Amino acid sequence: MKTVVHVIEAFSGGAVDTILYLTKGLKQFRHVIVYSIRNEVIDDGKIFKRFDGEVEFIYWQSAQREISLKKDWQAAVELKNILDNIDFDVLHLHSSKAGFLGRLVGVLFRSKKIIYTTHGVSFNRQDISSISKYKYVLLEKIAQMLSGEVICCSPSERDTFKNKNIKAKYICNGVEVSRNGLLVYPQRFTVITTGRVAQQKDPVYFNKIAQFFEGKYPIKFVWIGDGDMRHLLTSKNIEITGWLEKSKVEEVVKKSSLYISTSLWEGLPYAVLEAMQMGRPLLLRNCVGNVDLVEEGRNGFLFDTPQGAIQKIQYLLEHHELIAKLGSNSNQLCGEKFDLKDFLANYEKQYAH
């Protein structure tokens, strides 16, 4: 049995979903997860309970998000020592920090298969300076020369690498797709989003859209999640649910009319894929990752400004009959392009060769 070592600096978010699908769907491989935690407790260990019992976990204590030569060198040495004690065949690195340090250490493991999956690469961030973006591009170019290959989560993310003259390919994230009784919509028009209330998701943008409808239209906006920027969601027609169990998230999303994303950048967001799987029309901000999920007018719309989003919502309010059609198409498109079976088959090929 081949052994796959997954290395992840921040054991949270969409990267965890990817690893979860891989460990559950590719049981012909032994899976070891080397992980770190970013300044927060992980739901009292609930995240680990999502994984099957045969998955092994090793804590990577020295890893941290920001760039620090001293701390990053310590993290690289620790990672090398961890890998020295595992008889592995594939080193699968997840997200930017693990991607760089793993490829640095990977120079010492050239006989192994080394893969770096991006999950929203750092140089696409919109909350950092141009100088910081340049540094991240430089680090990606250096890492490319060291070891491994880059696998992006979406075509648009792959294109950002190509535009920086960095070789990369992509395997789209995937989810299980079903059409069993999902296309039911509430009487009250409800716009929903999920995720951490943080800069990447741009809660100020979301609030501007909701404020336009406050007191004018019977529309409800729901944010599933929480975060240190929740105080910016001030519009009275916004409900913040906090973090919910996955089954409860599905229940709430299925009661919505429209899924919205105001994200500044993405890789290929699972939250949107799951909304598509549940037959929700999409209204997504025009950014990396989001653009791969919408076929304009078929399953939803893209927008570039708050006013653009407002106009699309008004259009759907006036043409309510389109919601079910767009939602059905969303579910169909998810099956065509983002099926979990394809995702697993593509990574199985990567692991096997």
Encode pLDDT of 296-318 as tens digits: 999 999 999 999 999 999 999 99
What is the extent of the structural domain holding 211?
A: 189-337
Whether 144 and 221 map to the same domain: the answer is no
Low-confidence winner among 106-115, 130-139, 333-342 (lowest mean pLDDT): 130-139
**Token reading at 270:** 């699972």
Q: What is the mean pLDDT of residues 60-89?
A: 92
Number of domains in the chain: 2
Contact indicator for 125, 201 with CB cutoff of 8 Å: no
Whether 27 and 165 map to the same domain: the answer is yes
- Residue 226 falls inside a structural domain: yes
Whether 331 and 344 map to the same domain: the answer is no
pLDDT of 59 > 50? The answer is: yes
Whether 161 and 201 map to the same domain: the answer is no
Whether 133 and 261 map to the same domain: the answer is no
Whether 34 and 167 map to the same domain: the answer is yes
- Residue 179 falls inside a structural domain: no
Q: What is the mean pLDDT of residues 11-35?
A: 94
- Residue 321 falls inside a structural domain: yes
Q: What is the mean pLDDT of residues 229-245?
A: 96
pLDDT of 113 > 50? The answer is: yes
Q: What is the mean pLDDT of residues 8-35?
A: 94
CATH code of residue 66: 3.40.50.2000
Whether 157 and 227 map to the same domain: the answer is no
- Residue 180 falls inside a structural domain: no
Whether 13 and 141 map to the same domain: the answer is yes
Given this model, what pLDDT does residue 353 score?
82
Name residues whose C-beta falls within 8 Å of residue 266's C-beta, 6 or more positions apart in sequence: 120, 154, 287, 288, 289, 290
- Residue 14 falls inside a structural domain: yes
Whether 194 and 161 map to the same domain: the answer is no
Whether 318 and 201 map to the same domain: the answer is yes
- Residue 49 falls inside a structural domain: yes
pLDDT of 179 > 90? The answer is: no
Dist. CA 76–CA 93, nearest whole Å = 13
- Residue 183 falls inside a structural domain: no
- For residue 246, the SS3 value is helix
Whether 304 and 233 map to the same domain: the answer is yes
Q: What residue spans of 41-173 are helical by DSSP H?
A: 46-49, 69-84, 96-106, 130-146, 155-163
Whether 152 and 228 map to the same domain: the answer is no
- Residue 181 falls inside a structural domain: no
Give the pTM.
0.92
